[in-house]
């Protein structure tokens, strides 16, 4: 049965609903597509699945029904999803084991010293294609990535961000900081005084003597940005996936939080670096071949982890 266009959840690039189609010639009525569809677009109709386009939220094209159907009886089109996006899963034995994954996590460090070699574009693309499997709020993904590629381009970008930091130095005047603190949360004012101001002032000074304390002379900087429709977490989740993907490819990374603060305040820089005006930069990450490997791991803990 073919669905008709119905209601839709808008995202930056998804302004029409998805369209699930069920091939009843293949369907065994197992009911799994009904169970996974939490938009309630596929409903049970006397033991058979039925597409009800205007039900619930409308099809968000999450693809869950297409992925769960062992008979290949469901196809979904729309919101950037096509049946060609459905592929056979790798055999379980080819997936990373918990031990392998934990070892990768344990070996990862934030890398701020890079070899004098630029990761080639196909390697960056491979990493991004791996990271694109990150969960997204409402499909299709509203996260975009800008890869600033090559030492010179990254330094030009660093110079632009440091330019914005220079403006912030007016807060080093205690009177100005006290005045602006009235409009900030206590923790924001403390962070400005004790971290952002001293850190950015160090970066400015270092840059004048040819040292990059912002992007650490990295060969690649990745900017994860997202549309106003996205969940604020989406870009950072994608960036975290990118970090792990890069690690598995032998690349070193470090998230750089201060970049987004600066970039989101500067329309001109967003335009210059290819970030749509309406989008917010959620996270920046530097990447390159590490200059050296760490000899030992560091055990980390959450601030708390409790069962209730």
Ligand X SMILES: Cc1cc2nc3c(=O)[nH]c(=O)nc-3n(C[C@H](O)[C@H](O)[C@H](O)COP(=O)(O)O)c2cc1C
* Binding stretches for ligand SF4 (CB under 6 A): 18, 20, 22, 27-33, 36-37, 39, 41-42, 49, 59-65, 68-69, 71, 73-74, 76
Binding mask 90-129 for ligand X (x = CB under 6 A): -------------------xx-x-----------------
Find, among 50, 54, 24, 28, the residue nearest to 39 by Cα: 54
The pair of three-digit structure tokens given for residue 219, joined into one six-digit string: 């060969």
| Residue 256 interacting entry, from ligand SF4, ligand X, none, C-beta within 5 to 8 Å by type | ligand X
Q: Does 258 bind ligand X (CB under 6 A)?
A: yes
The pair of three-digit structure tokens given for residue 80, joined into one six-digit string: 């950037």
> Angle 195-197-155 (CA atoms, 0-180°, nearest 5)?
100
From the list 32, 147, 255, 263, which residue makes contact with ligand X (rule: CB under 6 A)? 255
| Residue 30 interacting entry, from ligand X, ligand SF4, none, C-beta within 5 to 8 Å by type | ligand SF4
From the list 19, 244, 254, 281, which residue makes contact with ligand X (rule: CB under 6 A)? 254
- In the chain the beta strands, taken as DSSP E runs, fall at 19-22, 42-45, 48-51, 74-77, 143-149, 220-226, 252-256, 280-288
From the list 150, 257, 276, 297, which residue makes contact with ligand X (rule: CB under 6 A)? 257
Q: Does 19 bind ligand X (CB under 6 A)?
A: no
**Interatomic CA distance for residues 240 and 123, integer angstroms:** 17
**Interatomic CA distance for residues 304 and 308, integer angstroms:** 12
State the nearest-atom distance from the C-beta of 95 to ligand SF4, in Å.
23
**Interatomic CA distance for residues 219 and 251, integer angstroms:** 11
| Residue 73 interacting entry, from ligand SF4, ligand X, none, C-beta within 5 to 8 Å by type | ligand SF4
């Amino acid at each position: 049965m073919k669905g008709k266009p119905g209601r839709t959840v808008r995202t930056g690039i998804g302004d029409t609903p998805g369209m699930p189609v069920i091939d009843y010639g293949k369907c065994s009525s197992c009911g799994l597509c009904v169970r996974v569809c939490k938009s309630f677009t596929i409903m049970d109709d006397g033991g058979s699945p039925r597409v009800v386009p205007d039900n619930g939220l409308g099809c968000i094209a999450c693809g869950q029904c297409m992925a769960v159907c062992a008979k290949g009886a469901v196809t979904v089109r729309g919101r950037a999803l096509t049946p060609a996006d459905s592929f056979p899963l790798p055999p379980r034995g080819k997936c990373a084991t918990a031990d392998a994954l934990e070892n990768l996590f344990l070996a990862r460090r934030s890398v701020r010293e890079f070899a004098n070699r630029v990761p080639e574009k196909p390697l960056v693309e491979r990493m991004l294609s791996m990271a694109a499997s990150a969960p997204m709020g409402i499909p299709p993904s509203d996260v975009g990535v800008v890869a600033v590629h090559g030492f010179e381009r990254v330094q030009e970008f660093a110079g632009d961000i440091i330019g914005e930091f220079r403006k912030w130095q007016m807060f080093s005047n205690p009177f100005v900081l006290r005045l602006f603190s009235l409009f900030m949360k206590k923790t924001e004012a403390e962070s400005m005084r004790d971290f952002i101001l001293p850190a950015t002032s160090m970066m400015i000074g270092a840059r004048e003597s040819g040292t990059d304390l912002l992007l650490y002379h990295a060969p690649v900087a990745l900017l994860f940005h997202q549309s106003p429709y996205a969940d604020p977490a989406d870009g950072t989740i994608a960036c975290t996936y990118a970090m792990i993907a890069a690690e598995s490819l032998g690349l070193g990374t470090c998230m750089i939080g201060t970049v987004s603060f600066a970039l989101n305040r500067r329309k001109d820089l967003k335009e210059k670096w290819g970030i749509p005006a309406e989008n917010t930069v959620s996270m920046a990450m530097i990447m390159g071949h590490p200059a050296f490997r760490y000899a030992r791991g560091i055990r980390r803990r959450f601030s708390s982890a409790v069962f209730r």
